[in-house]
Amino acid sequence: MSPASSKTPFYITTAITYPNGAPHIGHAYEYISADAMARFKRLDGFDVFFLTGTDEHGLKIAQTAEREGLTPQEFVDRQAEVYREVHELLGTSYDRLIRTTDPDHYGAAQSIWKRMADAGDIYLDKYEGWYSVRDEAFYTEDETEVRDGVRYSKETDTEVTWTAEESYFFRLSAYQDRLLAYYESHPEFGAPQYRFNEVISFVKHGLEDLSISRTSFDWGVPVPDAPGHVMYVWVDALTNYLTGVGYPDVASEQFEKFWPADVHIIGKDISRFHAIYWPAFLMSAGLELPRRVMIHGFLQNNGVKMSKSLGNVVAPADMIAQYGLDAVRYFFLREVPYGADGSYSHEAIVGRMNADLANNLGNLAQRSLSMVAKNLDGVVPEPGEFTAADREVLDAAAALLPAVRAAFDRQEFSRALEAIWAVLGDTNAYFAEQAPWVLRKTDPARMATVLYVTLEVVRQVGILVQPVMPASAARLLDVLGQPEGEARLFAALGTPIAPGTALPAPAPVFPRYEEPAGA
Ligand code: ME8
């Protein structure tokens, strides 16, 4: 075994969530997708660091805390725990759950501020403009509109209020050309292209300097040497990606190894912060830029936007209780092309569970395994010479890893799963055509070969779906006699299942979803 230090590092992050409300399916979607990516890279031999967490400062948090009669600190302590529990429920394999109230994060945020100030990019002026507390974002007058006497952000439809205060500014306007040049020379930086194009056209329209401190409240990271000023929450929040890997100690082993991040996973509403402000801050601070910002879409309930007033906000816990964690993980990653907006519904989830999981994968595994148990003493048989039909499915399964890897590297999770299920479809057809239950009487040696081929495809699939369905894949690999550890890494895909492997009693791994009686 090579030592861990020789592995290629891979650093992945999610957005850090505002913990002011209850976790919803949109959050779960982001955590699940980033988690699948992190697990994929670990299985593929990378040294992964996976960061997620909570964004605990800012006016929105301070106001919510006040409404609940708590201090901001009491409020975020309580809410951070709620989000920690969601991660536990989802099986998120994070390496650190960062909180922007963690002591090391204050030092990191103040350090990047000082670097930007030293670069001459921060100056003191007066801010006058429209602020959305909900978005923690500033809007220009023409980005807002008035309806029934209330002014809203056109883009996000949240209320904005007139804000006038002394503020530090970041010279964002000076970065327009450098950002455009960077996008041009790094075509992998923003994805998917159709979402990143919006970012590019925003930058092309011209950038205004950004207000980056507030004096009207104190729930934030203090600006160095500027009493009364706290940092604009987004300066503090974005810096979490540096804190998570050891910044400001840029000479630390962790920082040298993991920075720059390989991919920031974020939703479409915050692409401007990640693909414009964040690279500009890093350029100013003389730090490397993340390699990629992957912008996912929004999930809707039955095609309708989730909102508290409509009462259609689904709690991740309820969905998991109903369908099981792995079915939910599979559904989200398979159903919606990553980047696009998507919708979920009971019918769609049950459809995927029964067709893809119970039928195509579960039945194939169960039928082949129970034939081995009944007819071959539960031992993986020695195959005979492979026919063209055998070779076709075996070769298709062996070709999956490069295809699935290429898809994951672009966060095209649905394409990866589609490729795997295409092979399962072909293998089901092969199994039906070869009819091993007939061969049992006519040609037992040939039956053994067909079962061997089928088990080998199921093994490949079991290994490859681990990032998406960790617990079910583990059970599948258990019944295939594949021990935990090396036999389950992607490196093991090239070594076919060993004849003579004793298999435990087969147990179904993917049950059909049955409507509860009376439903
Ligand atoms: O924006 N579908 O936090 P947040 C899919 N604190 N994704 C959704 C979604 C939906 N319906 N609703 C929200 C923040 N999201 C900041 C981030 S990062 C330095 C600071 C996504 O709690 C959203 O796009 O409002 C974002 O990526 C994440 O959930 C957290 O949103």
All domains in the chain, ordered by first residue: 9-121+171-296 (3.40.50.620), 345-502 (1.10.730.10)
Determine the residue type at 119.
A
CA 58 vs CA 82, 106, 267, 298, 466: distances in Å: 19, 14, 20, 24, 38
Out of 55, 300, 308, mutate this one to test ligand 1's pocket (max ligand atoms within 8 Å of CB): namely 55
Out of 269, 276, 278, 338, mutate this one to test ligand 1's pocket (max ligand atoms within 8 Å of CB): namely 269
Three-state DSSP state, 345: coil
267 CA: nearest ligand 1 atom: 24
CA of 17 to the centre of ligand 1 (A): 6
| Separation CA 46–CA 410 (nearest Å) | 16
- Residue 209 φ then ψ, to 5°: -60, 155
CA of 344 to the centre of ligand 1 (A): 18
Q: How far is CA 334 from the centre of its chain?
A: 13
Q: How far is CA 488 from the centre of its chain?
A: 22
Please give the structure tokens belonging to residue 215.
Answer: 């004096």
Nearest CA to 83 among 104, 52, 62? 52
Q: H-type helices in 250-384, by residue range?
A: 253-258, 271-272, 278-285, 316-323, 325-335, 346-352, 364-375
Measured by CA distance, the residue closest to atom 26 of ligand 1 is 267
CA of 296 to the centre of ligand 1 (A): 10
Out of 13, 14, 18, 30, mutate this one to test ligand 1's pocket (max ligand atoms within 8 Å of CB): namely 30
- CB count within 10 Å of CB 386 equals 15
pLDDT tens digits in sequence order for the chain, 519 residues long? 445 568 999 999 999 999 999 999 999 999 999 999 999 999 999 999 999 999 999 999 999 999 999 999 999 999 999 999 999 999 999 999 999 999 999 999 999 999 999 999 999 999 999 999 999 999 999 999 999 999 999 999 999 999 999 999 999 999 999 999 999 999 999 999 999 999 999 999 999 999 999 999 999 999 999 999 999 999 999 999 999 999 999 999 999 999 999 999 999 999 999 999 999 999 999 999 999 999 999 998 777 776 766 777 789 999 999 999 999 999 999 999 999 999 999 999 999 999 999 999 999 999 999 999 999 999 999 999 999 999 999 999 999 999 999 999 999 999 999 999 999 999 999 999 999 999 999 999 999 999 999 999 999 999 999 999 999 999 999 999 999 999 999 999 999 999 999 999 999 999 999 998 865
Measured by CA distance, the residue closest to atom 7 of ligand 1 is 26
Nearest CA to 268 among 213, 327, 338, 219? 338
Pocket of ligand 1 (CB under 6 A): 15-18, 26-27, 29-30, 55, 237-238, 240, 266-267, 269-270, 298-299, 306
